[in-house]
Amino acid sequence: MSLLERQDVRTDPLVRLESVSKSYGDLLALDRVSLAVQRGEFVCLLGASGCGKSTLLSLVAGLDQISGGTLDIGGRKVSLMFQEAALFPWLSVRGNVELPLRLQGVSRSERRQRAEELLGIVRLSGFSDKRPHELSGGMRQRVALARALAQNADILLMDEPFGALDAMTRDILHDELERIWREQSLTVLFVTHNVREAVRLGDRVILLSSRPGRVIEDYAITHERPRRIDSPEVSAQAGEITDRLRAEVARHAQ
């Protein structure tokens, strides 16, 4: 294999954006964003409110059309998870997790088995027959994660999935997500406002400018895993990124 071929293998991204722009009428939300996410990477997107983070996710999800540039996910499947679990209240926990499997045409018995397996992965075995309103916010997000995993997608897109949870519950879910990401070899694109959360979880933290969103920094986070959100290393790097973000917000406010 030639050097060039080997480099191609190493840089075979699952998600590739080249100079992607997105406008809503006169409003330019994203401005020539280039970003490549490698298979198995955990990439966090960070930026001031309104800088286009959710827009970027919805473009990758194919929920919206790009206005310019190239976006290529090679026809791969994506699944989405949001701040609100958005579970169907009339379905049991198992029924919610089974839904994507039902849409994929998976047989009843296989569906049940797979749903139980996924509920085990998110540590909710024994809660299958509960309804969403009987669960805590953290447990509902676990169900949403199991449902996202049931889609059997190549790429997991997460839009502030833990933003509404208390700090302790969020901390526990960080550990769980990291474990599941490793065990399932997931590729994750994760939007957050929380700099520490981004450094806790990400292999990379992509910092977007204030609107229109452009990539202004691409930080490699190399601290050993599992990390603690309150460790000195995470705090120090989060401090550095926060300073950069503050400078960007201040520049924009002038």
Residue 209 contacts ligand ATP per CB under 6 A: no
CB 60, CB 86: distance < 8 Å: no
Phi-psi category of residue 122: left, alpha or beta, with phi > 0 → left and psi -120 to 50 → alpha: alpha
Write the binding mask 150 to 189 for ligand ATP: x where contact by CB under 6 A, - elsewhere: ----------------------------------------
Q: Is residue 214 near ligand ATP by the rule CB under 6 A?
A: no
Distance CA 1, CA 102 (A): 43
Rounded to whole angstroms, how far apart are CA atoms 103 and 80? 16
Q: How far apart are alpha carbons 132 and 138 in whole angstroms?
A: 11
Q: What's the rounded Cα separation, in Å, for the pair 21 and 89?
A: 37
Q: Rg (Cα) of the chain, in Å, rounded?
A: 19
Stretch that binds ligand ATP, among 53-61, 110-118, 222-230, 236-244 (CB under 6 A): 53-61
Minimum CB separation of residue 144 from ligand ATP in Å reads 18
Q: Helices 137-150 and 93-103 sit at what angle, rounded to 10 degrees?
A: 20
Nearest Cα neighbor of 155 from 6, 7, 40 is 40
Among the candidate windows 44-52, 75-83, 85-93, 108-116, which touches ligand ATP by CB under 6 A? 44-52
Among 51, 99, 101, 215, binds ligand ATP (CB under 6 A): 51
State the Cα–Cα distance between residues 234 and 43, nearest whole angstrom.
Answer: 16
Task: Confirm or reject binding of residue 204 to ligand ATP (CB under 6 A).
Answer: no
Q: Which of 54, 231, 235, 242 binds ligand ATP (CB under 6 A)?
A: 54
8-state DSSP, 171? H
Q: How far is the CB of 191 from ligand ATP (least distance, A)?
A: 6
Q: Which residues pair with 192 in a beta bridge?
A: 46
> Shortest gap between Cβ of 45 and ligand ATP (angstroms)?
8
Angle, CA of 72, 78 and 82, to the nearest 5°: 120
| # chain residues binding ligand ATP, by CB under 6 A | 13
Per CB under 6 A, contacts with ligand ATP among 14-43 are 24, 27, 29
Q: Which of 2, 49, 109, 185 binds ligand ATP (CB under 6 A)?
A: 49
Rule CB under 6 A: say whether 83 interacts with ligand ATP: no
Task: State which residue, 53 or 111, has the beta carbon closest to ligand ATP.
Answer: 53
The residue type of 93 is V
Candidate residues 7, 11, 18, 50; the one interacting with ligand ATP per rule CB under 6 A = 50
Nearer residue to ligand ATP within complex by CB, 82 or 219: 82
* Interface residues toward ligand ATP, by CB under 6 A: 24, 27, 29, 47, 49-55, 193, 211
